Structure 1
Amino acid sequence: MPMESMKLVDGTSYFSCGDGDTVIFIHGVGLDKSMWGGQIAGLKQHFHLIGYDMLGHGDSPEPPDAACIEDYADQLERLISTLALNKPVTVVGFSMGGLVARAFALKYPHRIDRMVILNSVFDRTEQQRNNVLSRCDEVKAKGPGANVEAAIERWFSKEYRGASPAQVAAFKKRIITNSPTGYLQTYQLFGQHDNYGRERLKSLHIPVLVATGEQDVGSTPRMAKMLASYLPNADVVILDGQRHMMPVESPQMINDMLMSFLTRQREQVTLQEVVHGA
């Protein structure tokens, strides 16, 4: 991390840097707050950035027994409350973090000003859901490293894997060294609740950006478009040639997209679809 991590009284580990409107980043299953290094480098001159480790990940505590999606939303609420962030914030959720962002927006609508959902899931087909739950069973039997090689191949392009072996190795290590219990609990929630809050999403009138990669096989363009159709004030961006880990593999592209969305005047945000390379 480019700055020292801190901990809240509840044990949540987080970083904080920059000045301006607050943007909070939520990572995906098996990862931690360090995935946002590219966003820190590009955006800290413009915003107050916060990233934290979800329950069961990094240096944060384990989720409670029989945890639900709302427990992860409550962790974010404790973070905001403890840091005395009195103005509504922007929340950027990646993959599982996108589910947490949705749950947070539904449970604490007064806290959120805008939302960005990156490479997340919605309305999986039966086969897609079975594939994820099958991987959960492998993790239950063999631990966090059970399907790490396949995950890396899904997440990163072969070019990035070839050009950045040290970065890829660090992600493998992060996954393998996760808490087995916390990782499994979170992965199971991710596998089962892609449609969390589906019908209630129509109540969210904040500006939302839903984005994914053209080649993201787990968080597909169809999912992004379907999710946006349930949100009254959403943009969709499908990034040409990108796979799952686009915030890491293509940080400047993602930062440019975030800057465009976050600096747009509220009255200019309208429902539209922007598809690159389609």
Structure 2
Amino acid sequence: MTFAKSFDGAPIYFETHGRGVPLIFSAGMGGGGGFWTPQIAELAKQYQVIVYDHVGTARSRGDAPVGRSIAGMAGDIASVLDHLGHDKAHVVGHAIGGIVGLELAMTQPERLRSVTVVNGWGRADAFLRRCFEVRKEILRVSGPKAYVRAQPLFLFPPQWIAENEAKLDADEAHIVSHFPPAETMNARIEMFLAFNPGARLQAIKAPVLVTTAADDALVPAYLTRELAAAIPGATLREVSYGAHAFTAVTPDVFNTMLLAFLAGVDRS
């Protein structure tokens, strides 16, 4: 296994696939780079795809401290790029991974070729807070297994869940075995619910793609549209089906969308 070191010495597990311009993927709340498996093979045909586990999660658990800042997590992306000898990269993040990408765009813009935010938000409203309060309560009262069992209800369309029960059951044991400590997960939730950059978003100069799914039941499309409107020049793309994890539900749709955006950035 290959590790980089964060600014505070924490281990960051990462993998690389393919060759070319670097493209780093940052996962959502679970933190594991395996979330991007449906993207790796296709994108690695044209890019050096980098996936990593957030510090404190999955294979990057080590002795990581519970508390980490969004700025520190943006620095973790820079640490992986430094380890690989890259000065900049395209950054693609799902939900909180997208927030980390935006933070990097606001604090270290020289490290970015572009940033893509998938089902992200620029502020947590009452609906989003209620969703995460429920998830925290499940974790507190019933533990990681129940939390993971409930997770598909927040991530996938109902019919997709019904049609993919065997796959979800098979994935469940693996996710539970790599689940972060409860205090780490709760700290992550609180940190990202507090994210509210406001006018700072207007300073982003990097090309930005913001994507959303109309049927996302966790991060409603209106929050993602609001985020796109706050970033000068951002491109907004919306799909009708796939919910919060449409990158996994309809990977061909997302991969085509992303490749078109990246090609336009690279040409310019």
The alignment's TM-score, normalised by the length of structure 2, stands at: 0.89
1:43 match: 43
Aligned positions, number: 261
Residue 179 of structure 1: how far off its partner (Å): 2.0
- Supply the AA of the counterpart residue of 1:94: H
Secondary structure of residue in 2 paired with 1:264: helix
Residue 63 of structure 1: how far off its partner (Å): 4.3
Residue 151 of structure 1: how far off its partner (Å): 2.3
1:272 match: none
Does 1:84 find its partner at 2:79?
A: no
Counting aligned pairs with the same residue, the percent is 24
Cα distance in 2 for residues equivalent to 1:182 and 1:165: 28
Residue 141 of structure 1: how far off its partner (Å): 4.2
Does 1:176 find its partner at 2:176?
A: yes
Judged with a 3 Å threshold, the aligned counterparts in structure 2 of structure 1 residues 151 and 265 are, in CA distance, closer, same or farther, namely closer
Cα distance in 2 for residues equivalent to 1:127 and 1:162: 25
Residues 200-230 of structure 1, C-alpha deviations (whole Å, 9 max, x = no match)? 1100011101001110022221111110111
Structure 1 residue runs without a partner (length 5+): 269-278
2:73 match: 72
Cα distance in 1 for residues equivalent to 2:188 and 2:143: 13
Cα distance in 2 for residues equivalent to 1:183 and 1:128: 16
Residues 173-212 of structure 1, C-alpha deviations (whole Å, 9 max, x = no match)? 344331223322222223x2242x2221100011101001
Cα distance in 1 for residues equivalent to 2:84 and 2:173: 31
Does 1:102 find its partner at 2:102?
A: yes
Residue 112 of structure 1: how far off its partner (Å): 0.6
- Supply the AA of the counterpart residue of 2:240: D
Judged with a 3 Å threshold, the aligned counterparts in structure 2 of structure 1 residues 153 and 141 are, in CA distance, closer, same or farther, namely closer
Secondary structure of residue in 2 paired with 1:147: helix
Cα distance in 1 for residues equivalent to 2:92 and 2:170: 23
Cα distance in 2 for residues equivalent to 1:78 and 1:263: 25
Judged with a 3 Å threshold, the aligned counterparts in structure 2 of structure 1 residues 153 and 217 are, in CA distance, closer, same or farther, namely same
Query: C-alpha root-mean-square deviation of aligned residues, in Å?
Result: 2.1
1:200 match: 200
- Supply the AA of the counterpart residue of 1:226: E
Q: Of 191, 209, 234, which aligns to 1:189? A: 191
Report if aligned partners of 2:105, 2:206 keep a CA contact under 8 Å in 1: no
Secondary structure of residue in 2 paired with 1:161: helix
Cα distance in 2 for residues equivalent to 1:179 and 1:132: 16
Q: What is the 5 A alignment of 1:1-278?
A: 5-9=1-5, 10-61=10-61, 63-86=64-87, 88-177=88-177, 178-180=179-181, 181-190=183-192, 192-195=193-196, 197-265=197-265
Choose between structure 1 and 2: higher helix proportion.
2
Runs of 4+ that moved beyond 6 A: none
Secondary structure of residue in 2 paired with 1:145: helix
Secondary structure of residue in 2 paired with 1:97: helix
Report if aligned partners of 2:67, 2:184 keep a CA contact under 8 Å in 1: no
Cα distance in 2 for residues equivalent to 1:213 and 1:160: 14
Larger CA deviation: 156-165 vs 239-248: 156-165
Secondary structure of residue in 1 paired with 2:253: helix
Report if aligned partners of 2:66, 2:184 keep a CA contact under 8 Å in 1: no
Residue 80 of structure 1: how far off its partner (Å): 1.1
Judged with a 3 Å threshold, the aligned counterparts in structure 2 of structure 1 residues 70 and 38 are, in CA distance, closer, same or farther, namely same
Residue 163 of structure 1: how far off its partner (Å): 3.3
Cα distance in 2 for residues equivalent to 1:266 and 1:50: 18
Cα distance in 2 for residues equivalent to 1:235 and 1:34: 26
Residue 143 of structure 1: how far off its partner (Å): 3.0
Secondary structure of residue in 2 paired with 1:263: helix
Cα distance in 1 for residues equivalent to 2:111 and 2:32: 23
